[in-house]
Structure 1
Amino acid sequence: MTRVLVTGAGAVLGQGIIKSLQSATTRCEIIAADPNPLSLGLYWADQAELLPMANDPAYPAAIEALLDKVRPDIVLIGTDVELGIFAEHRHEWERKYATRILVSDPATIEIADDKYATARFLESHGLDMPLSVLPEDRAALDNLIATAGFPLIVKPRRGARAVGVSLVHNHAELEQALHGRNGLVVQQLAGPDDQEFTAGVLFFEDEVKASIVLRRDLRDGNTYRAFVGDYPECDEYVRAVARALKPYGPANFQFRKAADGRCRLFEINARFSGTTPMRALVGFNEVDLALRYLLEGQPITQPAIRPGVVLRFLEEQFIEAASLIPSASQ
């Protein structure tokens, strides 16, 4: 049985990876890890482990101790904040603990983490993207306003789930959104709200092995409705982005289609996605595909995807007092 370590078991991404493992054809023993003993994903796993927060200096040593203890066949990373650490140590830890760590290289993660770097990367490869400038460059900002006009998007260069994002309709709103803040990027509006897409690829051996594109509706920065359809021009676009980016394994692309039909990507996640379990429901279980490829040598072929709509909803789970995991301090 395949032993899979999933970090970030309390995050939407980590929980989505666990859900995808539970519906996989690969028989898995799931070891879930998280800093919080009340993280729900810990209670879905065969084994639960506690870790420090990723920004704790003790985190790398704790990961090494955990890898030595559980000896997983593969590690799947469930939060963004852990990606850089695993990327830095990937080859060392793979050799030392005879495991596989599914993470892209540090340069790829840096492009994905920084939205201005994402825009520059796309531009350097001749790929459509929203025009993007740093607000400190007033000449570039004035040129963006003259070229793209309002509305514009002001967002943190590093961030997720639309936290700190402002839609501004005029100069006054723009100045208010910029006031007292650092680390921002100002972007052309990529397209209308009803033309937002999320896409995923699996990329190995210098080629896209499989891909999926979903149109989506957002709530609080997360996908809560995903529409499965035929979007060939969007699929061609994300495959071109993936061929330029060259991630190791999974990558997630978020973009909108403009009135002129062009896809304009505004976010890359060099990892699985919060929509990973939604994709699995329609026949695209990218976690299972990656495991079978990496651990069993099975080739990845493009899955048949069922048309329809995926609806996301809240659900509750009761944990008996006797089953609660004690905190690390207890």
Structure 2
Amino acid sequence: MPPTVLVTSAGSGVGCAVVRALRIATRHFRIIGLNSVALNPGAFQCDAAYLAPPTASGSFGPRLIKITNRERPDLIIAGRDEDVPVLAELRPQLEAFGSTVPVPSVEAAGDCLDKARTSRVLPQGPGGFARTACTPEDALALMAECGPPLIVKPTCGNASRGVRILYTPEDITRAFADDADIVAQEYLWPEERGRRPGCITPRHVMNGHGPRQDNEYSVQVLIGRDGGVLGMFASRNALCAGVPVTIETIRNDALERAACNVAQALAVRGLRGPLNMQAIRTGPDVFTFFELNARFTGITATRAAMGFREVEALYGHFVDGDDIAELLHFQDGIISCRLMTDTIFTRDDLERLNREQQWPRSS
């Protein structure tokens, strides 16, 4: 019987990537997908799927516990940011069924999910976390110090949703008046674009899809049971509307040192399992981080295809206690260009999942 892995939010971009990474692993896994909507691409890539209420609802926990009791998965993986703190809270109950749940402590989960907390936990400035303001007064002071523009984003958000670039004090005041649950960050000018202009305008930072995201660095880290870094993958990415479309692997000692410092600071607070960090190169061998996520990402399967088999390594380390070093290698200078993929299933499959709240693969 192959080991069983349960993926929450299996229909999300992250959840689908985790499922695909498991499908191309060097060993066979039985995959259980959990999602709140039946019509999604992830469920029908799994061996079995279940419907569950949204993560934020009070009914999600009891449903997950019931499914875990029935399926007895060896490993449970979070498929979205919102799932991580919930799994952290439920971990003792889930592990009572023999499942391994490699998520951060409740405290560390909040440190990564809430950007205001992230900015308080990590040192701010070049080589650390982007300077961040959590009140309108601090945001105005930050704009006066750094110069416009500032990037305003939800306190808890991902994939560039709700991100705005604001250029005037009036814009900042209005943004915080409209929504208090936001933070403002300095605009990190990529070194690859040359000298920072004295006055940054929309033509410098916008394109037809929104904010320019052509020189972002992503570092994926796997943190082990003892808080040590098991492996690290770095890439330079171009994104469209928050979705990576071109990924190139890189080896850079300065980036890896900076990422290791962040990972170790969070590990002290209880971070375990996957950690993704996004950065801009703000100077020669200086990388400043602006986003952290205590989970896998939408390019997890891409990294697996490039040799960094982080999901398989997660299972090997946390469940079997194996030496997983050989699963976490990659070459410099490998490029991926991404397009949409398809998941084909029948109307009968969809109706059965909606009707019975579960679906088993028949062949």
Both proteins in one fold, TM over 0.5 = yes
Deviates more, 1:10-19 or 1:25-34: 25-34
Whether 2:314 is the aligned partner of 1:316: answer: no
Unaligned runs of 5+ in 2: 191-212, 358-363
For 1:261 and 1:152, how far apart are their aligned partners in 2? 23
CA distance in 1, matches of 2:230, 2:98: 25
Query: What amino acid does structure 2 have at the position aligned with 1:277?
Result: A
Flag the 1:125–1:64 CA change in 2: closer, same or farther, 3 A. farther
* Aligned residue identity for 1:299: D
- CA offsets, 1:207-227, max 9 Å, x none? 101001111111111212111
1:221 and 1:75 map into 2 onto residues whose CA distance is: 26
Give, in angstroms, the shift of residue 91 of structure 1. 2.2
* 1:293 equivalent in alignment to 2:291: no
1:39–1:84 CA distance, 2 compared to 1 (3 A): same
- Is the 1:31–1:45 contact (alpha carbons within 8 Å) kept by the matching residues of 2? yes
Determine which of 233, 241, 248 is the counterpart of 2:254. Answer: 233
* 1:210–1:301 contact (8 Å) kept in structure 2: yes
Deviation at 1:13, TM superposition (A): 0.6
Deviations 1:194-250 (A, max 9, x none): 431111111111210100111111111121211112222111111111011012111
Aligned match of 1:262? 286
| 1:143 counterpart = 2:169 | no
Correspondence 1:117-128 to 2 at 5 A: 117-123=117-123, 128=128
Contact map agreement 1:210 1:300 (CA 8 A) in 2: no
SS of residue in 2 equivalent to 1:69:
helix
Corresponding position of 1:18: 19
Q: More relative contact order in 1 or in 2 (CA 8 Å, sep 6+)?
A: 2
What amino acid is aligned across from residue 90 of structure 2 in structure 1?
A: H
Instruction: Give the superposition deviation at 1:177.
Output: 3.6
Q: Pairwise CA RMSD of aligned residues?
A: 2.0
2:61 pairs with 1:60: yes
Compared CA separation, residues 145 and 63, structure 1 to 2 (3 A): same
Q: Quote the offset at 1:176 in angstroms.
A: 4.4
The count of aligned residue pairs is 327
- Mapped partners of 1:173, 1:281: distance in 2: 44
CA distance in 2 between partners of 1:260 and 1:191 (Å): 12
- Which consecutive unaligned segments of at least 5 residues does structure 1 have? none
- The answer to whether the 8 Å contact 2:124/2:130 transfers is no
Using the alignment, how far apart are the partners of 2:28 and 2:342 within structure 1? Answer: 26
Deviation at 1:127, TM superposition (A): 5.8
Tell me if the contact between 1:118 and 1:266 (Cα under 8 Å) persists in the aligned partners. no
Give the equivalent residue in structure 2 for 1:134: 134
Query: Alignment identity in percent?
Result: 26
1:275 equivalent among 279, 299, 324? 299
Aligned partner of 1:113 in structure 2 is 113
Q: Deviations over 1:152-205 (max 9, x none)?
A: 111111111111111122334434444412111111112324431111111111
